[in-house]
Amino acid sequence: MGQKLVIVESPAKARTIKRLLGRGYKVEASMGHVRDLPKSRLGVDTENDFEPKYITIRGKGEILKKLRKEAEKSDKVFLATDPDREGEAISWHLAHILKMKEGSPCRIEFNEITGTAVKQAIKEPRPINRDLVDAQQARRVLDRIVGYQISPLLWRKVRKGLSAGRVQSVAAKMICDREREIQAFVPEEYWSLTGMFNKEGKKQTFEAVFHSKDGKKHQLKDKDQVDAIIEDLKGIRYTVDEVKKGKKRRNPSPPFTTSTLQQEASRKLGFTAQKTMLLAQQLYEGIDIKGQGTIGLVTYIRTDSTRISSGAQQEAKDYILEKYGKEYAPIKPNFFKSKKGAQDAHEAIRPTMVLWEPGTVKDSLKRDQYRLYRLIYERFLASQMTPAVFETMTVNIKAKNYIFRASGSRKIFQGFTIVYEESRDDGKEEKDINLPILETGEEVHLKNWDPNQHFTQPPPRFTEASLVRAMEDMGIGRPSTYAPTIYTITSRGYIEREKRVLFPTELGFIVNDLIAQYFAEIVDYKFTAEMEEDLDKVEEGEREWKDIIREFYPSFKSLLEHADGDIPKIEIQDEETDVICDKCGANMVIKTGRFGKFLACPNFPECRNTKPIVEELGVDCPQCGSKVVVRKSKKGRTFYGCSNYPNCDFVSWDRPVKETCPHCGSYMVEKAQRGRIKRIICSNNECKGKRKTTG
């Protein structure tokens, strides 16, 4: 028997599959797409029923030559690209280039790169699914028409290098709309009144918050109302009016989908969506594990399903029973309902084997690979465990016709929280609140009042986590599009990220307002969500892909013609800085390029001087007294160094602060824990100086 050829996208995936299949199989990588629309022109024949004009991607000639050669000497060719629309399209293009017979069973797919899954897939090849391919073509052609026809308009009217996109423009609009909500928000004053109470003869105090008056909930709008209550209750006895005790169960969160993985990795680890997907792809395709060879550690990473296979559930249950005991393993497996409209083709993201504990593979993983794998592993394991149980107590304290309420909660059984707890958007952690044992009719004593003024808050700015969740909730984009969409709008200078918060730039507002005015349908949330539903219908074989383009294009073309004639030339003034050009003496200005913002001389082209923008911490270098600045390593990791480099070699991975250690005099640094600053510690490893931060 001759060899069998298996073609995948990446060398890492090829290495993993080669190890699993062994002799008799040749595994080669296509290095991603091999054919695509041309970069230099539209590549869609709008006069000939929107026929796409695919070309071989530049630089792929040698790869294709090798693939053809291997295919010719193989008895069978299997196309094993990723199990989604994009992967199906890559297989379709490969089949065309290799001149494979249409309809032949050449396509294999698997949700995880394990021996069992890959060998089973080899036994069950199928023809290429044209519905999946057509859904990808429809998205590609739509995005090309929008991007390649609005972008040149922006170049002419605003600035060269700008771009627009069918999904990216909607995401940018969401951030711009939120910023305008914040700007228009008018805060309203309100107050809270908390009493600090204790039992007779006990020092322990507990809080009870003003709840109601005359049996009706009452909101305190100003200080006068608070003062009136305090005055009305002078010298009054406080008694326990009602005590309610109960138990509350908190169920585990489902295993990760693409969206929830990006959200939780942002909250817990501080990763961007793009970084999360890059690392997750590496874990899926295979990591060289010491003594084991290349192993695919997690299942396929682009999914919106929370479904788990029965085999994986049983494996998790056996592991939980052995490691934690029967009280932590539910009698029946936990099942989770996927969101409406979710594609259920793939399982949720989980470890391929529960026995691959994070600790056993840590030495084979890079730091961030390990952190993400541990997150996926613990979330999956916790999803298959019993609920956490809390003992709750609510106490109403009465004085005259006023009720003050105290609430307590105490965890009495860890359940799944022994392994994992989901983060909250506000960054706060749930803590036990213990109340003293109180009985109805018992008198308690007021120690003091704690009145507080508050103001209603505007909606929060988006973080990457909350933007991904909002896009998913609104049906905008799909699991594979969230990360590249956010990357595009930030790299183009429309949106900036500061301490994880996303906000629009002046350029972002200008471009958003232009597109919203002249291409309202393109950035309409409902229209974009309905377009995603139409693409899903193509995948399901319910719609013909060109029908979607035929319906979309005439009105779009009309809008394009109107905009081209109506939009005036817009001049964006560069922001002047106090940095002096060391070549001609002019004040340098801030410009935005492919790799972000930089300083440039305004006398271009006569003077071509540019400089990077350096962020100063406002902290003096502990070695030479110059300013400490933020720098980036070659791998993009943030560190802190002296602005006087190379004359001074001071560097620190932790962010230095303005204070010195009271014990040894060394500089102090902010020490982050799971992405959040927890404490200020001494930089001297031999000194134990530290203090907690406030907030």
420 a catalytic residue: no
The predicted pLDDT at position 425 comes to 62
Q: Which of 207-221, 333-347, 496-510, 531-545 has the lowest mean pLDDT?
A: 333-347
Give which of 1, 26, 144, 129 is closest to 78, Cα–Cα: 26
Model confidence band, residue 695 (pLDDT cutoffs 50, 70, 90) = very low
- What confidence score (pLDDT) does residue 675 get? 45
Which class for 72: exposed (0-12), middle (13-18), buried (19 or more C-beta within 10 A)? exposed
The pLDDT, as a whole number, for residue 616 is 82
Give per-residue pLDDT as tens, 39-81.
999 999 999 999 999 999 999 999 999 999 999 999 999 999 9
Of 114, 80, 111, which is closest to residue 299 (Cα–Cα)? Answer: 111
Q: How far apart are the first and last CA of the chain?
A: 69
pLDDT range class, residue 484, cuts 50, 70, 90: very high
Cβ count near 607 (within 10 Å): 16
Residues with Cβ within 8 Å of 207's Cβ and at least 6 positions away in sequence, in order, are: 194, 195, 196, 197, 406, 450
- Concatenating the DSSP letter of every residue in 137-160 gives HHHHHHHHHHHHHHHHHHHHHT-T
What are the tens digits of pLDDT across the range 422-440?
Answer: 877 655 566 788 899 999 9
- pLDDT mean over 102-127: 96
Single out the catalytic residue among 25, 238, 284, 300.
300
Pairing of strands 189-199, 495-498: unpaired
Q: 221-259 burial string, b = 16+ CB within 10 Å, else e?
A: eeeebbeebeeebeeeebebeebeeeeeebebbbbbbbb
pLDDT at 596: 62
Residue 407 has pLDDT above 70, yes or no: yes
Q: Does position 492 have pLDDT exceeding 90, yes or no?
A: no
User: What φ, ψ does residue 440 adopt, rounded to 5°?
Assistant: -60, 135
Q: Write the single-letter amino acid at 320.
A: I
Here the contacts of 309-315 (C-beta below 8 Å, separation 24 or greater) are 309/347, 312/347, 312/350, 312/354, 313/384, 315/353, 315/354, 315/355
Among residues 640, 572, 636, 577, the alpha carbon closest in space to that of 610 is found at 577
The mean pLDDT of 610-627, rounded to a whole number, is: 85
pLDDT tens digits, 632-684: 776 667 889 988 887 888 999 888 988 888 888 888 998 765 444 467 888 88
What are residue 535's phi and psi, to 5 degrees?
-65, -35
Two structure tokens written together for 412:
């009495």
- Supply the DSSP string of 533-602, one letter for each residue: HHHHHHHTTSS-HHHHHHHHHHHHHHHHHHHHHHPPP-PPPPEEEEEEPTTT-PEEEEEEETTEEEEE-T
Q: Using the predicted structure, report yes or no on whether residue 12 has a pLDDT greater than 90.
A: yes
Asked whether the beta carbons of 545 and 133 are under 8 A apart, the reply is no
- Using alpha carbons, list the distances in angstroms from residue 647 to 111, 197, 579, 644, 650: 53, 61, 21, 6, 9
d(CA 238, CA 206): 14
388-399 and 55-56 beta bridge pairing = unpaired
Q: What percent of the chain has pLDDT over 90?
A: 76
Question: Pairing mode, if any, of strands 216-217 and 238-250?
Answer: unpaired
Cis check for the bond before 646: say yes or no (omega within 30 of 0). Answer: yes
User: Does residue 285 have a pLDDT over 60?
Assistant: yes
3 state DSSP class of 34? coil
More confident: 341 or 494? 494
31-50 burial, b at 16+ Cβ within 10 Å, e below that, comes to eebbbbbeeeebbbeeeeeb
Strand locations in 414-568 (E): 443-455, 495-498, 501-504
Is residue 361 scored above 90 in pLDDT? yes
Q: CA 185 to CA 182: how far, in whole Å?
A: 5
- Evaluated on CA atoms 473, 479, 480, 483, the torsion sign reads positive
User: In the chain, what are the domains?
Assistant: 3-128 (3.40.50.140), 137-184+460-566 (1.10.460.10), 189-251+388-455 (2.70.20.10), 258-383 (1.10.290.10), 573-613 (no CATH)
Give yes or no for a contact between 561 and 552, defined as CB atoms under 8 angstroms apart: no
> Tens digit of pLDDT for each residue in 544-583?
999 999 999 999 999 999 999 999 998 877 788 888 998 9
User: What DSSP line would sit under 628-644, residue for residue?
Assistant: EEEEE-TTS-EEEEETT
For residues 563 and 516, what is the distance between their CA atoms, to the nearest angstrom?
Answer: 11
The pLDDT score that the predictor gives to residue 422 is 84
Give the C-alpha separation, 164 to 147, whole Å: 5
Label residue 172 by pLDDT band (50, 70, 90). very high
Q: Which residues pair with 190 in a beta bridge?
A: 454
510: left (phi over 0), alpha (psi -120 to 50) or beta: alpha
